[in-house]
Amino acid sequence: MCANRGLPSDFDGWEALGAKGWGWEAVLPYFKKLESDRDFDGPLHGGEGPIGLRRLFEDQWPGFTAASIEAAKKDGWKNLNDQNGVFEDGYFPIPMNNIDGKRVSASSAYLTNDVRARPNFDMLDHAHVESLLIDGTTISGVRVTRHGEKFEIKAKEVIVCTGALHTPPLLMRSGIGPQSELSELGIDVVADRPGVGKNLMEHPGVNFGAYLKKGARLTPGLPTHMIAAVRWSSGHEGVPAGDMYIVPTNRAAWHPIGDRMGIMQLWVNKSYSTGEVTLNGDDIFGEPNVDFNMCSDRRDMDRMIAGVRVMARLCAKPEIQDVVLDVFPVSYGTRARKVGVYSNFNRFQTWIGAQLMDASSFARKYIIENMISTGPTIAELLEDDSTIEEWIRKTVLGHWHASCTCRMGAEDDPGAVTDPSGRVYGVQGLRICDASIMPMVPCANTNISTIMIGEKMSAAILEE
């Protein structure tokens, strides 16, 4: 799991949007507190936290990763080494919370055996929180379903940590959210907060695929396939530095064909497009409606188009051409999506496909063109920006960085849902502590920033 923090400008931006006390200097101590960095120390790094961090440096990089970064060097990017401590444009090994081949999750790091043994700690698995218990405007607990049994849990304060896609539905089912939407569904309004479920953010991206020569494939025993990355500034008017990102991953999927492929991942590191999460009118207790609305902001689309041209330029360089058999825009067909589902049958049939692709250029190109790259070629993309834009609209995807749907801000800001302490406006006894309270998605994977939120908010609660 990537363990990059983002840029100082991200958190100063949070504060400018009303999240007082969440600027870079205020959050840095909690980034340091959560980590135990095995590679770097100094004033920007922690060494005693529960989340172990490590990197794979250049002498350990497999073929496709190494070739991609060599191409980036020839394009003028420099080695930064420390992504979490040097905030310029360049390439670097990605910090990972992956120690001894195992991901260090928030669960394994914080819910240790000693914590689980505490007399004041209970954890219920397979429990679904249907709604909050409300007395007037005071939250007094939660209503839960578990193994078919419904019951209530009372509490002086409830802290919701169900994520950017599920925290808004819980609030809305309980009467906290946009009044017009709740009334339309017959839900009694407790607190009219129009921002609940709005401002959904992600990092929109597209991919080029590469069928790798045998010597360029992922080295057996490496703990990850996402090893190094390039960060650069688009120069787009009004957009901060470090707003674009490319990751050359040395494995495309879990199955045998994926083992033979690399992916050049491009995403907008500083995105502006917003979507929404709304209740499912047919079943408000079911999965919500989610519309990411990616690349709806023209700034994102323009930079994606320019980024595709950067990817194409890199992929045409001899450093990459020497280690690949084919390079192509990824436009997955229906069949490729089906075999992406983990199963023994899919493992078997992709193993057969992989043997054919290794043995025959005809079979390889047929499978690529009919399953993996069903859209335009790179040459066709580069003919004009409208072709690139059409391809982006058809293939754009997120990176599991959903955030910002219950954002922090000032009480008189209609889009804000919580104050800077995570307290939900309009009610008492309720906080939110997850990625939904981010005012804007940071220029980073959201993993470490979300843990930082937990560290900072827990410290504030203990002080109260």
| CB neighbours of residue 303 within 10 Å | 26
**Which pLDDT band holds residue 287 (cuts at 50, 70, 90)?**
very high
- Chain segment 94-149, per-residue pLDDT in tens: 999 988 888 899 999 999 999 999 999 999 999 999 999 999 999 999 999 999 99
Residue 24 contacts residue 442 (beta carbons within 8 Å): no
State the DSSP H helix or E strand holding residue 349, giving kind and residue range, or none if neither.
helix 344-359
**Which pLDDT band holds residue 428 (cuts at 50, 70, 90)?**
very high
Mean pLDDT of 302-331: 97
What does CATH list as the number for 56-93+205-270+295-395? 3.30.410.40
Residue 268 contacts residue 300 (beta carbons within 8 Å): yes
SS (H, E, C) 152-212: EEECCCEEECCCCCCHHHHHHHCCEECHHHHHHCCCCCCEECCCCCCCEECCCEEEEEEEE
Mean pLDDT of 249-269: 96
Of 31-35, 423-427, 460-464, the range with the lowest mean pLDDT is 460-464
State the DSSP H helix or E strand holding residue 327, giving kind and residue range, or none if neither.
strand 324-329
Residue spans per domain, the chain: 56-93+205-270+295-395
pLDDT at 373 over 80: yes
| Planar angle of CA 248, 383, 397, nearest 5 degrees | 40
- The fraction of the chain above a pLDDT of 90, given in percent, is 94
Q: What is the pLDDT, as a whole number, of residue 251?
A: 94
Q: What is the pLDDT, as a whole number, of residue 255?
A: 95
- The fraction of the chain above a pLDDT of 70, given in percent, is 100
Picking from 128, 38, 65, 120, the residue whose alpha carbon sits closest to that of residue 265 is: 65
Q: What is the pLDDT, as a whole number, of residue 233?
A: 98
**Which pLDDT band holds residue 275 (cuts at 50, 70, 90)?**
very high
Distance in angstroms (rounded) separating the CA atoms of residues 455 and 66: 36
Mean pLDDT of 160-178: 98
The phi-psi region of residue 426 (left if phi > 0; otherwise alpha if psi is between -120 and 50; otherwise beta) is left
Q: What is the pLDDT, as a whole number, of residue 222?
A: 85
Q: What is the pLDDT, as a whole number, of residue 322?
A: 98
pLDDT at 261 over 90: yes
**Which pLDDT band holds residue 283 (cuts at 50, 70, 90)?**
very high
Q: What is the pLDDT, as a whole number, of residue 100?
A: 83
**Which pLDDT band holds residue 210 (cuts at 50, 70, 90)?**
very high
Terminal alpha carbon distance of the chain: 33
pLDDT at 332 over 90: no
Tokens read off for 13: 């931006």
> What is the three-class DSSP state of 262?
strand
Tokens read off for 380: 């066709």
Q: What is the pLDDT, as a whole number, of residue 99?
A: 86
Residues with catalytic annotation?
401
Distance in angstroms (rounded) separating the CA atoms of residues 391 and 205: 12
**Which pLDDT band holds residue 464 (cuts at 50, 70, 90)?**
confident
pLDDT at 333 over 80: no
Query: Which value, to the nearest 10 degrees, does the dihedral of the CA atoms of residues 41, 47, 50, 53 take?
Result: 30
Q: What is the pLDDT, as a whole number, of residue 24?
A: 98
What sign does the dihedral 10-15-17-20 (CA atoms) show? positive
